[in-house]
């Protein structure tokens, strides 16, 4: 039962954490405007995700949920950065 709860919580936090940038990406693409986007936050997020991934691997070994979380979160931040530079005026 504990494994089921751990996996369920892992799935929930991954969906929420990875999905944090989706609304901004979708809004920016629809409106073709990135005036309300903080590009500094995006770059800091990538650095934070990379550091967290390194920390998690060194501290806990390869943990599927943590690695999945940080890798996919970083990918979506990179997508947001690409959208930002595409629509930046």
Query: Which 8-state DSSP code applies to residue 34?
Result: -
The Cα 68–Cα 52 span in angstroms is: 12
Q: Which pLDDT score, from 0 to 100, does residue 2 have? A: 83
The Cα 24–Cα 12 span in angstroms is: 20
For the stretch 29-78, pLDDT in tens is 999 999 989 999 999 999 999 999 999 999 988 888 788 889 999 999 99
Q: Which pLDDT score, from 0 to 100, does residue 10 have? A: 79
Rg (CA), the chain: 15
Q: Which pLDDT score, from 0 to 100, does residue 18 have? A: 85
B/e letters for 40-58, b = 16+ CB within 10 Å, e = fewer, are: eebeebbeebeebbeebee
For the stretch 12-28, pLDDT in tens is 888 888 888 999 999 99
What does the chain come to in residues?
89
Q: Which pLDDT score, from 0 to 100, does residue 3 have? A: 87
Residue 1 has pLDDT above 80, yes or no: no
Residue 79 and residue 37 in contact, taking contact as beta carbons nearer than 8 Å = no
pTM: 0.84
Q: Which pLDDT score, from 0 to 100, does residue 47 have? A: 95
């Amino acid at each position: 039962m504990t494994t089921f709860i751990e996996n369920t919580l892992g799935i929930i936090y991954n969906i929420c954490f990875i999905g944090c940038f989706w609304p901004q990406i979708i809004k920016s693409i629809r409106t073709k405007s990135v005036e309300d986007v903080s590009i500094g936050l995006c770059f800091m997020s990538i650095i934070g995700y990379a550091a967290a991934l390194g920390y998690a691997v060194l501290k806990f070994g390869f943990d599927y949920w943590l690695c999945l979380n940080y890798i996919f979160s970083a990918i979506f931040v990179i997508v947001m950065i690409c959208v930002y530079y595409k629509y930046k005026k």
